[in-house]
Amino acid sequence: MKQFIILSSLTTAVLLAFVSPASAIDPPIISYQGVLSDDSGSPPPDDSYQITVRLFDEMTEGTLLWTEAHRNVAVTQGRFRIQLGSVIPFDMATLATDPLYLEIQVGSDTPMTPRALLTSAPRSVISRRVRGDILTEQGTIQIHPPDPGSQGGIQISAEDSINYIHLNPIHPPEPGLPPVIAFNTTLSSGANLFMFNPQPEPPAIGDPWIAMHTGVGTGASLLMFNPQPEPPAYPLLEMNTQLNRASFEMTSNQAAGAGSEIVNPMLEAIVDSLGVKLNLQKSFMDDTGLPDKTGIRLSADSLAAKAMMFGPGFENSPTLQIISDADGSRLGLDTTPTNVITVGRSSPTNPIATAWTVYSSKRWKTNIKTIENPLKMIMNLRGVSYDRKSDGKHDIGLIAEEVGEVIPEIVEYEVNGTDAKSVDYSRLVAILIEAAKEQQTTIDELKTELRELKRLYGDLAVELDKSPRIKHASHTPDLN
């Protein structure tokens, strides 16, 4: 046979028929057409020929990657057509080789040279590895399984102001249902990631399990919702960051005594340009069915640091407060502290301790003087009994306003400087000591005078006994 040359064209046919989703992917077939001629340009006689084809990774020599022989190929006026891969299936790795050269041999002739460089046609069959239906619209690609009974789908969209990717287990997707996973990016709201409830029943619209947002003006946030059969309307965990503020919240579905649920953060942390806050709380229903809370609140800013504890019914009036600011630190029990330690006026119990001592060293005192006229001060005080307005309990004590007129140093006043609010009973001891000393001095003086009177009486009695005129007096005065 004469040596032939070939004029050829290469086309690709990608087969998309599958037996089932679990079956192996059908091997690709490449349709190849050519025209044989001799050195003078004449076609060979019409007949059947054997055509062998090979693929190499080099123009000359190189590695043989694939080969197959087609027997009894019909050649008419030099024209023929074969299906590459129909005898020996292609390997995807072979088609992905770049560069890829085709060598053709007719019968026992020497293989034709040069080998033909294959460009996009064979490698385009690799795209068939995306199994299923691929639908395209303007700015949108949808990929669905080929089996109508299968579940799953991907949608990628790009519009003027928004780009998004949706992954949906429902195929075809039901109108209005959110995807299982959604990625969105927009110029106005930034980037978002939503993960919805992958339950047998499609999730409710707008209730993702996990949502993440980032935006130029809105900051970044992460929300995790309650994984229950019924989608919740509030997140179990929420984190937000903005230019001047960051927050973290953890919420729990809290069953109340009446069977209702109170939705409030169990843990809340906020950091912003003003300071930091930490709230730990438990929400519940009280005996009357009203919402209530207990918890701890910590806060710190440029002016003060505070710690608060509140029990049932005291959310807005903490039962314990610790405040540290430029004026020092203060502790309040059942009230807002105004002194180092302040106990609420209506406290259900009185403070009690094994011992309580007060700083009193002369190292911290100056202008020390003995209290003058202490007994007069005591005489101007009035001890009273009374009933408390807060709880009706009967008690005894002093009236702060009256004490303030006599001993203002031991009376504490409101900010207005007029209304008295407390008396430092312990400091009355100093006045009582000096009053007792003043009284004892008076007693000692009276005792001295009495002794002198007794002595004078004794001397007088002796003289009277000596006098005959009053010797028989019938009355003797008793000076004892």
The domain 5-127 having CATH identifier 2.60.40: the answer here is yes
For the segment 135-144, the average pLDDT, to the nearest whole number, is 65
Q: Over the chain, what is the mean pLDDT?
A: 77
Predicted TM-score (pTM) of this structure: 0.50
Residue 169 reports pLDDT greater than 60: no
What tokens appear for 94 in the block?
């072979």
**Which range among 237-241, 263-267, 357-361 shows the weakest confidence by mean pLDDT?**
263-267
What pLDDT score was predicted for residue 205?
44
What confidence category does residue 204 fall into, taking pLDDT thresholds of 50, 70 and 90? Answer: very low
Q: What distance in Å separates the CA atoms of residue 445 and residue 428, rounded to the nearest whole number?
A: 26
**Which range among 1-5, 43-47, 221-225, 255-259 shows the weakest confidence by mean pLDDT?**
255-259
Enumerate the domain spans of the chain.
5-127, 132-243, 371-480
Beta bridge partners of 384: 397
Chain length of the chain: 480
What confidence category does residue 440 fall into, taking pLDDT thresholds of 50, 70 and 90? Answer: very high
CATH topology assigned to domain 371-480: Arc Repressor Mutant, subunit A (1.10.10)
What tokens appear for 346 in the block?
């209506």
Residue 19 reports pLDDT greater than 90: no
Beta bridge partners of 190: 186
Higher pLDDT, residue 112 or 10: 112
What confidence category does residue 245 fall into, taking pLDDT thresholds of 50, 70 and 90? Answer: confident
